[in-house]
Amino acid sequence: MSSWALSERPRLRSPGRLKYDKARQSDLLLLPERVVELNEAAGAILWLCDGNRSIAQLIQELEAKYGQTGLADDIVDFLASAEERGWLER
C-alpha cells in the first residue's frame, strides 16, 4: 500500500463517478462494468476527492463534519486502499 502525502489532491479515476441512490439511500461508485455500493464513510471521503482539495483539507472537512478528531490515519488508509482498487488517482 503506497502512502499519500497530505499535500496530494486525489481525484476519482476517470471514467468513474459518484451517484447517490435514493432507493438504497447510499452512495454508489459507478465504474466500467461494475457498481460499488459505498458505506457512509467511504462515500463522504470519495465525494471530496475532486482533485482540488488536498488530503489535509479532506481530513479537516471530515473532522469538522463529524465533530471528531484523529481521523487522519483512517482517511489516508482508505485512500491507499481506494487507489489500489483503481478508484482514485493522484
Residue spans per domain, the chain: 11-89
* CATH class (in words) of the domain with range 11-89: mainly alpha
Q: What confidence tens digit (pLDDT) does each residue in 39-90 have?
A: 999 999 999 999 999 999 999 999 999 999 999 999 999 999 999 999 999 9
Whole-angstrom distance, CA of residue 55 vs CA of residue 20: 23
Whole-angstrom distance, CA of residue 19 vs CA of residue 8: 24
pTM: 0.93
Which residue, chain included where needed, has cell 476517470?
14
Please measure the distance between the N-terminal and C-terminal CA atoms of the chain and give it in whole angstroms.
14
